């Protein structure tokens, strides 16, 4: 049998069987002797060396000019865990007992040769494998591996001098662990023996024992409980176990992927790859808070507690205004997040189908690393020179037509709106602004002034003097018709009214998010831009919600065959970090350079630029825009089929991963959509509502949303609609 570095042969002498092991790696004879001393301390459930007639247990031999070390070992009977159709509770319990007894026996054993060893399969040195992620070609898998490496640095490394260390076998995988009569009976192959964290024995063994399991945490606890009965674990060891379990599976897939590229015909290398990936994809859906508390319970430790939701809400209301609303009737207290999942303090995992700000995923490792590295290096403002400002500006502008060649950095989309309005008015020397009905452009005074969604509703002051609202170009869905001449008349009338005091420009989102994810009809934006420019105004595209590829094109206005004079950026630009920008032409930038300095204390700072650059790199490297097209089209196609089945689905609209699902019941006096949102929350899926009568369910997940995530969403939505 071929291993990663060694050759193993079964030798039969009469009725007796042995294992002949030929070491083809770089093991020294002193290290192998030290390993043999460990095996001598253990029972006959472990391999034992068979000495030669001269008493040697390890011999050196030469074959075809190469030196090899050779060892003859006892042969252990049994069935590999990997060959069992499933592992039951009895087997898992015996596994924990077996490992606990082994580690208890070795707890005080010392060996300089083993302790001096540093090798990449030792969980404590997992980061030795981090560079191997580049061999993983599947974007979602590579991102998953990189996420757990990043979390290893964040969660495990701070404990590296606090955890108990001892000699561990370090590789109790499904092809090294034997069973007989329904219990673990033996453990072979001490090639990865290490002086490591004691808890790494479980961190290594558990993922392999859970392959194919549905209830991963419950099964893990069966091993942990019986291990703890043999060798009591410490609380701090349980605090890192979730991530040690994950990192072992990551190390395995990284090495198998790399080795497969070198030895594509070696089946041993790839045998565990598929179940390892399946395990990791399940493991990330498990809230680490829940996992740790279950581990603690298995060892009779008290759960870690977090602040009560009502207590947090009460304090929030004491120190903040109630005008800052919270999502859901009963808010969720979140503690962590990972890619497209969010982890609540009470141990639940939520699929995030709503947070478009986390454009490339929560805690994306590349973005997190960019923040950490630059924050540790320097942060300042744009009055100084630093290269990542010019690097990022150049990289960002490469995604725009040549005429849009100037960037003004601020620290939010709202601030970008404010700056864009100032620029438009400075360039035209006019004040009037055309705005769309139900449009929203930010929370500053200037942003509210051009947001009908705010000034036209409860608490709003109505149209300001220089603001002119264009009625939304409605399409009659029931008759699939529209009145283009009426649209033009509405535009012409609004422009005419604005020109009485001077038209500065027109601001609109290509898809109106707060209106309920409503796209502007084909041809409308082109017509509007032509009419506005004929009247002397400039055209501003608000890409704060839909930019950076969300709709399947890098910018929403690209769907309409137009080029704006200014583009407002925000939200996804920094993946949650506060950064925004205005992109405009040289002519408008020159008009704005009128003697009054433009300065934003935080706009374009080194940390923000590093983050923004990392987001652009992820979008390119992971083909995020293509994912929005494929997954968005898949999502929309399933929803359209559901619409035929459930007439309550009135409309499905949007592009890519920016979708609106509008629900209406005959003769309804109150929208049912908020109830659907609450029911999805009960099923651990995050969404929101908006639009006229709050009838639209907003779906705008992180751009790494997968077809599997779509299937989960649709399954839960179907359950709800069947009840409705």
Pick the range with the lowest mean pLDDT from 269-273, 494-498, 576-580, 616-620.
Answer: 269-273
Using pLDDT thresholds of 50, 70 and 90, give the confidence band for residue 269. Answer: low
Ordered alpha helix ranges (H), 535-623:
586-592, 606-621
The more confidently predicted of residues 613 and 68 is 613
Question: What are phi and psi for residue 190, nearest 5 degrees?
Answer: -100, 30
Percentage above 90 pLDDT, the chain:
69
Q: What is the arithmetic mean of pLDDT over 64-69?
A: 80
- Extract the tokens encoding 692: 């006229």
Question: What are phi and psi for residue 66, nearest 5 degrees?
Answer: -115, 145
Cα pseudo-dihedral 292, 294, 297, 302, rounded to 10: 50
The pLDDT score that the predictor gives to residue 539 is 97
126 membership: H or E segment, kind and range = none
Distance CA(295)–CA(282), nearest Å, equals 17
Using pLDDT thresholds of 50, 70 and 90, give the confidence band for residue 543. Answer: very high
Distance CA(547)–CA(544), nearest Å, equals 6
The Cα-based distances of 415 to 256, 321, 487, 557 in angstroms read 48, 22, 30, 21
Q: What angle do CA 385, 386, 391 make, to 5 degrees?
A: 120
For residue 339, give the DSSP letter. Answer: B
- Extract the tokens encoding 535: 């009247």
- Extract the tokens encoding 313: 């809400």
The pLDDT score that the predictor gives to residue 714 is 97
Model confidence pLDDT, tens digit, residues 576-585: 999 999 999 9
- 8 Å CB contact between 544 and 570: yes
Strands, DSSP E only, in 64-164? 66-74, 79-80
Q: Write down the pTM of the prediction.
A: 0.92
The pLDDT score that the predictor gives to residue 16 is 85
Average pLDDT, the chain: 91
Residue among 550, 723, 546, 570 at smallest CA distance from 626: 550
């Amino acid at each position: 049998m071929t291993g990663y570095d060694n050759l193993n042969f079964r030798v039969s002498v009469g009725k007796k069987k042995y294992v002949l092991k030929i070491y083809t790696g770089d093991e020294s004879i002193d290290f192998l002797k030290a390993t043999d001393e460990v095996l001598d301390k253990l029972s006959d459930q472990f391999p034992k060396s068979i000495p030669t007639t001269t008493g040697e247990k390890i011999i050196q031999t030469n074959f075809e000019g190469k030196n090899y070390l050779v060892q003859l070992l006892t042969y252990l009977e049994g069935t590999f865990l990997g060959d069992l159709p499933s592992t039951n509770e009895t087997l898992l319990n015996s596994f924990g007992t077996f490992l606990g007894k082994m580690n208890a026996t070795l707890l005080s054993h010392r060996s300089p040769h083993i302790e001096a060893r540093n090798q990449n399969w030792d969980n404590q040195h997992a980061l030795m494998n981090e560079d191997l992620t580049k061999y993983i070609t599947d974007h979602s898998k590579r991102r998953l591996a990189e996420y757990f490496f990043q979390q290893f640095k964040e969660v495990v490394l701070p404990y590296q001098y606090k955890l108990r260390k001892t000699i561990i076998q370090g590789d109790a995988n499904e092809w090294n662990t034997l069973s007989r009569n329904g219990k673990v009976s033996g453990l072979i192959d001490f090639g990865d023996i290490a002086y490591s964290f004691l808890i790494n024995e479980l961190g290594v063994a558990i993922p392999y024992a859970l392959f194919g399991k549905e209830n991963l945490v419950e099964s893990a606890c069966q091993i942990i409980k019986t291990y703890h009965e043999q060798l009591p674990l410490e609380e701090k060891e349980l605090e890192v176990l979730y991530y040690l379990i994950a990192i072992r599976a990551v190390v395995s897939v990284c090495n198998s992927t790399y080795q497969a590229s070198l030895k594509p015909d070696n089946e041993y290398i790839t045998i565990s790859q598929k179940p390892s990936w399946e395990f990791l994809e399940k493991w990330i859906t498990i809230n680490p808070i829940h996992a740790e508390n279950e581990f603690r319970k298995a060892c009779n430790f008290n759960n870690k507690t977090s602040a009560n939701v009502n207590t947090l809400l009460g304090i929030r209301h004491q120190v903040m205004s109630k005008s800052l609303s919270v999502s859901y009737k009963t808010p969720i207290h979140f503690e962590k997040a990972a890619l497209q999942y969010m982890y609540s303090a009470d141990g639940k995992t939520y699929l995030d189908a709503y947070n478009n700000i986390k454009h490339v995923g929560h805690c994306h490792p590349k973005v997190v690393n960019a923040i950490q590295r630059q924050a540790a290096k320097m942060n300042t403002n744009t009055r100084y020179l630093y290269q990542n400002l010019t690097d990022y500006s150049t990289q960002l502008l490469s995604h725009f037509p040549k005429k849009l060649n100037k960037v003004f950095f601020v620290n939010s989309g709202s601030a970008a709106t404010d700056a864009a309005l100032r620029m438009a008015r400075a360039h035209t020397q006019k004040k009037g602004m055309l705005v769309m009905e139900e449009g929203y452009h930010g929370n500053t005074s200037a942003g509210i002034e051009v947001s009908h969604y705010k000034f036209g509703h409860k608490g709003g002051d109505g149209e300001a003097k220089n603001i002119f609202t264009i009625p939304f170009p409605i399409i009659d869905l029931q008759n699939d018709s529209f009145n283009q001449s009426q649209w033009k008349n509405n535009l012409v009338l609004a422009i005419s009214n604005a020109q009485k005091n001077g038209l500065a420009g027109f601001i609109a989102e290509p898809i109106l998010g707060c209106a309920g994810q409503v796209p502007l009809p084909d041809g409308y934006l082109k017509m509007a831009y032509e009419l506005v420019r004929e009247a002397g105004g400039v055209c501003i595209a608000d890409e704060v919600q839909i930019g950076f590829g969300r709709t399947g094109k890098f910018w929403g206005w690209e769907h309409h065959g137009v080029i704006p004079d200014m583009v407002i950026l925000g939200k996804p630009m920094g993946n949650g970090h506060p950064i925004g920008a205005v992109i405009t032409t040289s002519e408008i930038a020159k008009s704005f350079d009128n003697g009054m300095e433009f300065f934003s204390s935080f706009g374009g700072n080194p940390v923000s630029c590093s983050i923004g650059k990392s987001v652009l790199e992820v979008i390119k490297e992971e083909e995020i825009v293509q994912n929005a097209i494929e997954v968005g089209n898949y999502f929309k196609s399933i929803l359209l089929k559901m619409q035929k089945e459930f007439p309550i689905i009135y409309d499905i609209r949007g592009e890519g991963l920016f979708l609106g699902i509008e629900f209406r019941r005959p003769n309804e006096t109150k929208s049912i959509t908020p109830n659907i949102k609450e029911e999805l929350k009960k099923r651990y899926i995050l969404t929101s509502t908006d639009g006229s009568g709050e009838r639209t369910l907003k779906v705008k997940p992180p751009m790494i949303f997968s077809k599997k995530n779509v299937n989960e969403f649709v399954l839960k939505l179907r359950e709800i609609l069947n009840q409705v």
